[in-house]
C-alpha cells in the first residue's frame, strides 16, 4: 500500500480507532486531567488506554468526527476528537460500554471524572456548537504544526455549519492559554477541580457570527 499524502487532515474510520487511541495515549501520557482521574494505583498505561479508548468509541457510536493527520510514511501522527452541535441521545450500546468501563476503572475514578465534568459545566456554551474533546500529537512529531492543521479543520467544520455558534474546548495546562488565544479563542471560565487540577474553558465564535 502506498503511503498516504502527508500532512492532510482526514476523517478517520472505525478501522482507525486503535491507531487513534495510540496517538492520544502518547500525547496525553502525563496530561493533568488523566493523572487526576486515574490516580496513582494500578497499571496506569493500561487504564489510560481504556479511558481514552472509551472517549474515541463514544464518538464512533455517535457518528461524530475523529480527525487525523498522517506523516509521509502513512503513520497516524495527530488526532482530534470532536462532538457535533446539539444534544444526542446516547445509543444503548454506548451506555452499556460506559458502565463496563467505569466498573473496570473503579468508583473513585468515576467520581473524580464526574467532579471534573461538574467543574466545567458552568462554562458550557448554551448555543449549539462544536466541542473539541481532545487534540493530541505524537510526542515524536511535536513542533511540526500538526495541531494547527487539526484546529483549522475543526474551525472550518464549524464555520461552514450555519447552526454552529463556534468551537469550545477546555485545557488543563496553563501554557496552552496563549496558544488558544492566538487561534481566536477567548477564556469563558476557570475552575479548580481538586488535588491541584485546574481547568480553563475556551470558546471561539464561528466566523462572522
**Which residues are paired to 205 by β-bridges?**
166
Phi, psi of 9, deg, nearest 5: -80, 130
Q: How far apart are CA 155 and CA 82, in angstroms?
A: 11
Residue whose grid cell is 451506555: 95
pLDDT in tens, 98-157: 999 999 999 999 999 999 999 999 999 999 999 999 999 999 999 999 999 999 999 999
In eight-state DSSP terms, residue 163 is T
This prediction has a pTM of 0.93
pLDDT in tens, 6-60: 578 999 999 999 999 999 999 999 999 999 999 988 899 999 999 999 999 999 9
Q: How far apart are CA 158 and CA 86, in angstroms?
A: 13
Cα torsion 59, 41, 175, 77: sign:
negative
> Is pLDDT of 208 > 70?
no
Residue whose grid cell is 457510536: 61
C-alpha cell at 56: 474515541
Amino acid at each position: 500500500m502506498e503511503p498516504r499524502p502527508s500532512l492532510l487532515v482526514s476523517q478517520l474510520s472505525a478501522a482507525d480507532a486503535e491507531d487513534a487511541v495510540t496517538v492520544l495515549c502518547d500525547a496525553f501520557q502525563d496530561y493533568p486531567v488523566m493523572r487526576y482521574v486515574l490516580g496513582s494505583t494500578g497499571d496506569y498505561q493500561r487504564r489510560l488506554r481504556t479511558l481514552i479508548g472509551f472517549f474515541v468509541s463514544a464518538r464512533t457510536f455517535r457518528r461524530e468526527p475523529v480527525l487525523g493527520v498522517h506523516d509521509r510514511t502513512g503513520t497516524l501522527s495527530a488526532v482530534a476528537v470532536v462532538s457535533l452541535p446539539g444534544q444526542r441521545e446516547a445509543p444503548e450500546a454506548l451506555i452499556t460500554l460506559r458502565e463496563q468501563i467505569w466498573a473496570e476503572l473503579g468508583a473513585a475514578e468515576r467520581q473524580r471524572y464526574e467532579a471534573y465534568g461538574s467543574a466545567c459545566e458552568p462554562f458550557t456554551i448554551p448555543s449549539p456548537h462544536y466541542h473539541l474533546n481532545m487534540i493530541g500529537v505524537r510526542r515524536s512529531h511535536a513542533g511540526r504544526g500538526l495541531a494547527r492543521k487539526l484546529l483549522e479543520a475543526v474551525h472550518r467544520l464549524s464555520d461552514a455549519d450555519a447552526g454552529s455558534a463556534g468551537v469550545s474546548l477546555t485545557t488543563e495546562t496553563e501554557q496552552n492559554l496563549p496558544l488558544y488565544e492566538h487561534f481566536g479563542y477567548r477564556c469563558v471560565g476557570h475552575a479548580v477541580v481538586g488535588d491541584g487540577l485546574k481547568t480553563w474553558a475556551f470558546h471561539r465564535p464561528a466566523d462572522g457570527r
